[in-house]
Amino acid sequence: MMFETRNLEVGYGKIKALHGVSLGVNAGEVVTLIGANGAGKSTFMKTISGLLQPSAGEIYFEGERIDRLPAHQISRRGLIQIPEGRRIFPLLSVEENMMMGAFFRKDNAVKSDLERIYADFPILKERRAQMGGTLSGGEQQMLAFARALMSRPKLLALDEPSMGLAPVIVDKVFKIIKDMNAAGMTILLVEQNARAALSVAQRGYVMETGTVLLHDKTSELLVNDRVRQCYLGVQEGFVS
């Protein structure tokens, strides 16, 4: 297994936010973690990236325990997160934002990677000199993807990539996720849009109040009564 958390517990002071969360991602998979606001999803993402320290439990990445490492060492190992809200650098150009993704790289392929990613995101090439903060929300999400890809991630962790985007842009974002996975990218997707997330992932975890309640193949979660009623907006007894 490429990535795994074991009985992870995290708190803010005396308030516990995660209660024994165990989750795993195999190489080449898209695994999604779904849940309502306040379920603990963002706390989980901050913890696996080293921004929060667990009070108990363990985190493993490629067989190495990483839960006591600082955030920059975790990212150097190839666990790259696109945070909620995208967090691009608004006063840097599109290309400068992308190059920030290659900050730790020492190889000679940065320029060729830049051109390859421009080919995948032609709108960014058109606006390479434009300040990141002047892009639309959808374009900023594309830039966040591009910046992350410049770091050559082994595992790409996405925190609410559809948040605040128009439905037509959301469709494009999830197509990009699907295409990246088809090209071999391993992805952990945390998302409130359960239907979209389950449509691109192979397995899913359902979190409520800091606890994983369900874990199954997405084909099974899509027909699970609790998931349908709570997350997919399907009433009991209604057949779509």
Using one digit for the tens of pLDDT, what is the confidence trace for 124-175?
A: 999 999 999 999 888 898 899 899 999 999 999 999 888 877 888 888 889 8
- Compute the chain's Rg from CA coordinates: 18
Q: Does the global pTM surpass 0.85? A: yes
Question: Shortest CA distance to 201 belongs to which of 183, 186, 223?
Answer: 186
Same domain, 108 and 137: yes
* 205-237 pLDDT, tens digit each: 999 999 999 999 999 999 999 999 888 865 544
Q: Which of 134, 151, 168 is the last residue of a domain?
A: 151
Q: Which of 151, 171, 187 is the last residue of a domain?
A: 151
* 92-118 pLDDT, tens digit each: 999 999 999 988 888 889 999 999 999
- Whole-number pLDDT of residue 234: 55
Query: For residue 101, what is the DSSP state?
Result: T
Output b/e per residue, 203-230; b: 16+ Cβ within 10 A. bbbbbbebebeebeebeebbebeebbeb
Q: Is residue 87 part of a domain?
A: no
The two tokens of residue 126 are 């058109």
Q: Residue 45: give the domain boundaries.
A: 3-78+153-230
Q: Is residue 235 part of a domain?
A: no
- Cβ atoms of 93 and 130 within 8 Å: the answer is yes
Neighbours of 240 (CB within 10 A): 5
